[in-house]
Structure 1
Amino acid sequence: MPPTHTGNLPNLPLDALIACHECDLLMRREPLEPGEKSCCPRCGFELAVHRHQWQRRCFALVLTALLLYIPANFLPIMHLTLLGQTRSETIWTSVLGLFESGMPGVAVLVLLSGMAIPLLKLLCQLLVLLSLRFKVARPTGMLLYRTYHHLREWGMLEVYLFGILVSIVKLIDIADLSLGIGLACFVALLLTQVWLELNMPSHQVWEALSNE
């Protein structure tokens, strides 16, 4: 872990400085070798980490997530048998059910946070990686990556998964319940997106987009 110095800051250009996201300490940016990371000397927050071959890993992860998106949202999450009738539930049918139940506001919220925004995030990440890979449309790539950061707060797959688990616990005592392949795909999609975010370091993305 390279040291981060805080002296002689007024004489340094802005691109040579970094501010801690937790305690706002302003420091001099230190170069990192592959595998190294820098932390704030005051609060210990991880400022940056240099990942080796991160573009290849992220490209593979974003393609995996996009392949999982369709089955996660349109294949059955559970099969519910009640009073002799069996019904298969998917995320898409849950959105339609909310509309039909007279709750369009909740349906739109679920549609956005559970389906639309996660897809937009993945598409933004894919286009940013393509921009870096083929070294084209860097300004557009910067705009897309900025859009991705704004969308991060609205994608709530983990909240939706928690709601699914609560529903399973409540329904298991009153009906015959079996889990579908859609749930496995949904969990895999969530884990892939988390892994993708961990392997796509923001400072390296911005640096790569800034280098013409």
Structure 2
Amino acid sequence: MADSAATQDVSTLPLEELIACHECDLLMRRPQLADGERAVCPRCGYELYSQRTQVVRRSLALVLAALMLYIPANFLPIIRLNLLGQTSEDTVWSGVVNLYQSGMQSVAVVVFLCSMAVPLLKLLCQFLVLLSIAWNIGRGYGLLFYRIYHHLRDWGMLEVYLMGILVSIVKLADIADLSLGVGLACFVGLLLVQVWLEVTMTPHQIWQALSREDAHEGN
């Protein structure tokens, strides 16, 4: 573990060899790390970044898993509700449609964007970025898609939608017979895989792999 970064005079160093701490703004030489090491700011102790192994391959596996979970998570029943002899099945997509048909078009659009459209766009951008690195093609497009992904990060809110589902289940449990569907398990799995992907796909290694001559070094 590299517990600190060099803090020697940096005024003559090229920009690509410098890094600034996100917490205290200390400017220092970018340390060279081996796999498994992490760089820590010598002034405030903030972790600057860590060097993970097999980032591209592991991230590709997680992206493919998330894409496979996407359709069942959004189109298979989340809950089955039996009330007064009538049974209904609710999915994420049916929730959007019901909101739209009940006159709440603006809410339906927001739910669709945050729970379905943006998460899918994020996964597709990540997939294309990782392919451009793994196959060493379309580097310019890879940079573009990675920038788009960063702009979309704050708009995907699967965890908020999941909390809404759980609150609804708790409130309806006393007035109707509820059973959980496969869609809920897929939705939770999709959320967990995306969180794991965020941790695995370290930004500094992806930017380095996209900007270097030989992208295979990032594999």
Output the aligned Cα RMSD.
Answer: 0.9
Name the CA distance, whole Å, in 2 between partners of 1:185 and 1:43.
40
Matches for 1:66-105 after TM superposition, within 5 Å = 66-105=67-106
Name the CA distance, whole Å, in 2 between partners of 1:45 and 1:72.
37
Runs of 4+ in 1 over 3 A off after TM superposition: none
Name the CA distance, whole Å, in 2 between partners of 1:56 and 1:205.
12
TM-score between the two structures when normalised by the length of structure 2: 0.94
Deviation by residue 1:120-163 (Cα, 9 ceiling, x = unmatched) = 00000000011011111101100100110110000001111111
Q: Cα–Cα, structure 1 residues 101 and 23, in superposed 2: closer, same or farther, change >3 Å?
A: farther
2:54 aligned with 1:42: no
What's the offset of the Cα at 1:25? 2.0
Name the CA distance, whole Å, in 2 between partners of 1:39 and 1:97.
50
2:203 aligned with 1:202: yes
Aligned residue number for residue 127 of structure 2: 126
Name the CA distance, whole Å, in 2 between partners of 1:118 and 1:44.
33
2:174 alignment partner AA: D
What's the offset of the Cα at 1:80? 0.5
Which deviates more, 80-89 or 42-51? 42-51
1:80 alignment partner AA: L
What's the offset of the Cα at 1:86? 0.5
Name the CA distance, whole Å, in 2 between partners of 1:27 and 1:183.
47
Which deviates more, 12-21 or 187-196? 12-21
Aligned residue number for residue 144 of structure 1: 145
- Per the alignment, in what secondary structure is the counterpart of residue 10 of structure 1? coil
Aligned residue number for residue 108 of structure 1: 109
2:191 aligned with 1:190: yes
Aligned residue number for residue 174 of structure 2: 173
What's the offset of the Cα at 1:77? 0.3
Aligned residue number for residue 61 of structure 1: 62
Name the CA distance, whole Å, in 2 between partners of 1:4 and 1:147.
30
Deviation by residue 1:161-192 (Cα, 9 ceiling, x = unmatched) = 11111111111111111100000000000000
- Per the alignment, in what secondary structure is the counterpart of residue 79 of structure 1? strand
- Per the alignment, in what secondary structure is the counterpart of residue 169 of structure 2? helix
1:52 alignment partner AA: T
What's the offset of the Cα at 1:42? 2.6
Name the CA distance, whole Å, in 2 between partners of 1:43 and 1:99.
50
2:90 alignment partner AA: E
- Per the alignment, in what secondary structure is the counterpart of residue 11 of structure 2? helix
Residue correspondences, number: 212
What's the offset of the Cα at 1:24? 2.0
1:103 alignment partner AA: M
What's the offset of the Cα at 1:104? 0.7
1:55 alignment partner AA: V
- Per the alignment, in what secondary structure is the counterpart of residue 87 of structure 2? strand
Which deviates more, 38-47 or 159-168? 38-47
What runs of 5+ residues in structure 1 fail to find an aligned partner?
A: none
Which deviates more, 20-29 or 60-69? 20-29
Name the CA distance, whole Å, in 2 between partners of 1:173 and 1:22.
48
What's the offset of the Cα at 1:54? 1.1
What runs of 5+ residues in structure 2 fail to find an aligned partner?
A: 214-219
